[in-house]
Structure 1
Amino acid sequence: MWKAVVCDDEYIVLEALSIMIDWEGLGIRLVGTAEDGLSALELIRRVKPDIVLTDIRMPGLDGLQLIETVLSEAPDTHCIVFSGFNEFEYVKRAIRLGVADYVEKPITEEAIERALGKVLGRIERESAIRSMERKLQDTDEALLEKAVWELLLFGKEAEQAWREQFGPEGDRVAGVTVLAAAEPFRLPEHPAYRAIHLRDDKHHLAVMFHYMDLPSAHWDSLVDELDDAGLAVGISLTHPPEEAHASWREAVQAHKAAKLLGIRGAVRFGELGSGSDNPSHLSALEEAILLALRAGSRTMVAEEADRFLREILESKPDPDTVESEMLKIIYAAEEAVGEHRDPSGKPHIEIAEAAAEGRLSEWFRERLKRLAEQAAASRDRDKHSAIEKAKEYVVQNAFRDVSLQETASFVGLHPAYLSVLFKETTGETFIQYLTRNRVELAKSLLRKGMKISEVSDRVGYMNPRHFGEVFKRHTGMTPGQYRDSQLSS
C-alpha cells in the first residue's frame, strides 16, 4: 500500500481530506498531516511517503520550497499541489518543479481522487519499469522477459527488439493477449500460442503470443480452469504485437474490475462497459496545458499554449504531426472539463479548415481559451448552486433538527466538503445557519402568542429548557420575555 501525507495550514482542510477521501479504497495509507512547511518537511523525512499533497501557501516553508526540497532528497516522490484561484504564477513554478498534478481550491472529492488516480497510474508504470530492471540477467530467458516487458510498456517502439529476442517464431505471431492476476498462475502449453509469465509489483502476468486463432473450446476450458482455481483474472482483448501495451492496460483494468466487483474468476476486458480504459500518454507540455485548463485561468492557458506551440514548431515536424498533436490535446482538454466541454463545432473538422486557412495556432489558442472559460464558469455556478440549494433546504426544514449529513445527501455533496464550502460561501457554519433560521421561525411563532413549549416543539427542540437557552443566546432575551415584549408593543 502506498503512503501519503497532506500539508495545509488550514486545519479544517486537513480534517476534510482525512474524512472525505477513501484512502484505503485507493490503495493508499494516510500516514500523517502537517499544518506548516517546516513540520511537513520533518514529517516527510521521517515517514518517507510516496505521495505528498500540499498547499502552496504555508508558514515557515511554503509549498514550492517544500516540493523543491523533497524532490531534491527523494526524486521518486510524487507531489500534488492545491491553491487558490489567484495563485497561478505559483502553480506554473510548481509545474516546472515537476509536480504530478494541481487541484484548485475549494477542494472537491472528485478532483482529489482524479489527481490521486493519475499519480497512482504513474507510480504503477514506474514500478513496472523498476521491476523490469531488477529482472535483467544475462540469460536468454531473462532477456526475453525484458523484451516482452518493453513491448508491453512501449508497443511499436520496442517491437523490433522483441522480434529479434523472440526468435524465428516471432514472425508467426499474429496477436497478443495478456492475463493479469494478484496470485501466481501458469497457462498450459498449446501449439496455438506461446505464453511468457512475468511479475511486477502488483500483478502476475501471462502474455500469450498467438500463432493462430485459439479454438473456442480451448478458451472455454482455460476460463473454466481459472474459475475453478478461484483466481480473479483480467483478460485483455487480442491486439497485434505493436499494440501490446494496450493488452497490458486492458488486462490490468479488467483485473481491477474483478477485484472491485468481488469476482473470483475470469473477467474479459470486452465485457466491461465503455470507457473502462482511458489511457493518457501526454508529454510534459501537454500535461502543463491540462493543469492550466483545470485552474481555469485564461492567461495561464494562453502562456502554456504558446510555450507548447514554440517548442513543437521549433522541432520542424510535418504539418500532419502538428495537427495530430493539437487535436490530441483538444480532445484531452474536453475530457478534462467533462460535462462542461465546449459544445460548439467539431474539432477534427475545424482544425482542417484552420490549417487550410493558415490560422492553425490562432484556432488552437482560441479553442483552449473557450474551454477554460466555460470550465471555470461552470464550476463557480455549480458550487454556488449547491450552497443555495442547501440553504433553501435548511429554511424549509427549520421546524426540525435537520442534519448536515441529510442536507449533504440532498445536494449531492460529501458532508465534510459541504461543511467547508458552506462556511466559505456564507460566512457561518452549517449549524450556525440552521440555528439562526430556527430562532427566526421561533420568533415569528412567539409573536403570534403561542406557548413556549409549543414553539419549542414546532422548531424541532424536544427540550423547552434547551430551546430557551439557545433562544436567549441568540436574542438576549428568554422566549417569554420576547413574546411579552412583542405582544405589549
Structure 2
Amino acid sequence: MWKIAIIDDERQVLQGMKRAIPWDELDAEWVGEALNGQDGLELIRTAAPDIVITDIYMPVMNGLDMIEQLRKEGFCGKIIILSGYSDFEHARQALRCNVSDYLSKPISVPTLKTILGKAIGELMEEEEKRIKQDELQQKLMLYEPFIEKEWVKSAVAGTLDSSYRNEDRLPKPYRFWCESKHVVIGIDLIRNVRTSDLSLPDWSLFRFAISNVVCEVAREAFPAIEYVELHGTRAVLILHPQADSSQQELELKLSKLGIRLIDCVKSYLKLVIRVGIGGTKEAWTEMPDSTEEAFRAIDLRDRRVDSAYDVFVYSEEMGNDQGTLVMRPAKFYFEIAGAMKASQESQAQQLVAHYTQQLKEQKGITPDYVQMLAGELWGIFAYCLYEVGMVLDDIFPNDQIVKEMVGLTLPGQLAEWLTAKISVIFSSRQWKGNSKHRQAVDFMTQYIHEHYADDMTLADLSDKVYISRNHLSIIFKNMTGETFNTYLTRVRIEKARELLLERNMLVYEVAERVGYKNVPYFSTLFKKFTGMNPTELIK
C-alpha cells in the first residue's frame, strides 16, 4: 500500500482530507498527520510516507522550509502543496524543491483523486525502474567473474580495446600486473586416438581437468597465475615472476615447469600436450606478443629445452624470419573462433578478408603454408561447432574437404574457400537459432565448474539465465548430451578423483569438498563413474 501523510495547521482541513481521499480505491493508507512543519519533519522521518500533502503557512516551521530540509536529507517521496495562497515566488521555490503539484484551497474531491492518482502512477513507474535496475545490478554481479575472465582472455590474445590498455582500467584483481613481469606459456593438446573420439561432455571435462592440473602445478613455482582457454586445443598460462628475477634463472624455472606440466598431464589424464614459452615482458600490455611467441615456438619446434620433451622456448631469431611473422597468429585464431561461436557471420567474414589480405602482402607465402593455414582454420571451425553439439562432417564430407585443400595454393584462393564455407555453415539448419541457447549452456557449464561444491539445482540456474526449467533441461541435454544432474555429478567426481590422487585428505573430506555430505552415496557415485571405490584409488 502507498503511505500518505498530511501536514496542515488547520484540524478541519486534516479531518476533511482524511475523509475525502478514496483510500481503498488508491490502494493507500494514512500514516500520520502534523500541525506544523517541525512536527511534520519528525513524522516523515519516522513514517517514511510515499506521498506528503502539506500546507505552506504553518507555525514553528513553514512548509517550504520543511520540504527543503527533507530534500537535503534525501527524501524522494512525492510532495503535494495545498495552500490557501497563490504566490509566484512560493511556487518557484516549490519547483526548485521538486514538488509534484502546487494547488490552491479549496480543492474538489475529483481533483484530489486525480492528483493523488497521478502521483501514485509516477511512484509505480519509479518502483518498476528500481526493480529493473536491481535485477540488472544482481545480474552484473553474477556475471562479474565471467566478465573479468573474458577481459583477461582479450588482454592475453591482443583483442582488448585500446581504451582499456591503461592502469586505470585494470580490474581490481589484476592491479598487481603493473608491478611484475609477464610470461605466457602456450599449451597445445595433441589430438590422438584417446581424444579424437571424445563426446562433447567428455571433451569439456578433459579441458576442465587439464586446467586444474596445470594451475595446481604452476602455483607451486609461481603464486600469481591465470589460465585461459583460447580455442580448439589451445590454452595459455599467464605467469607473473618477480621483477628482481634474473633472466637466466627465470628461463630455467620456466623450462622445468614446462617439463613438469607435460609429465603431470600425461600421468593424471593420459593426455599429451606441447608447451611453448614466450618472451618475458615488462608491461602487461605486451602480453599478446608473448602469446604469439609461445605458439610460434611450438609451431617451429626449434629451441627444445630437453630432447625427451616437447617444450620449446621462443628466441629473437625466430622473429627475425619475416616468413614466420604471420604463422598461426593467436589473435586471428582467437577472433575467428569468437565470431563463430557468437554466430557473427559478417564479423567472421571480415576477419578472413582482413587476414588474407595481409597474407597477399606478405612475401614468402608458400602453397604448403596456405594449406597448413586452411587445415588449422578448419580445425577451429570444427571445434566451434563441436562445442554446440554439431559435427562439421555432417555438413561437409571430410573426403571432399581434403581434396579441396590440396588445390589451395594462394591466399586469394584461401579467402574464397573460407568465405564460402562460413556462409554454408551459418545458413545450415543446425546452426540457426542456436546462439542464445548456446550462450545459456556455456554460462551453465562455466558456473558448474566454478561452483560444483555448492548446492545447486536446475531451477536455480534457470532463474539466472531467464529460461524456464523444463525448456532449459531440454536445451542442456541437446547441447551436452547429458542431463544437468549427470553433468554436475561428473564434474564433482572428476574433481574428487584429482583430490584423492593428491593423498592429502581422507575420503569423507574429499566428499564434503566436492559437495557431498553423505559419504556412502558419494562412494556409490564415484564407483559408478570411475569403476572403483574411492579407497581403492588411493591405495
TM-score range, shorter chain: 0.3 to 0.5
Over alpha carbons, which structure has the higher Rg?
2
- What's the TM-score, normalizing by structure 2? 0.30
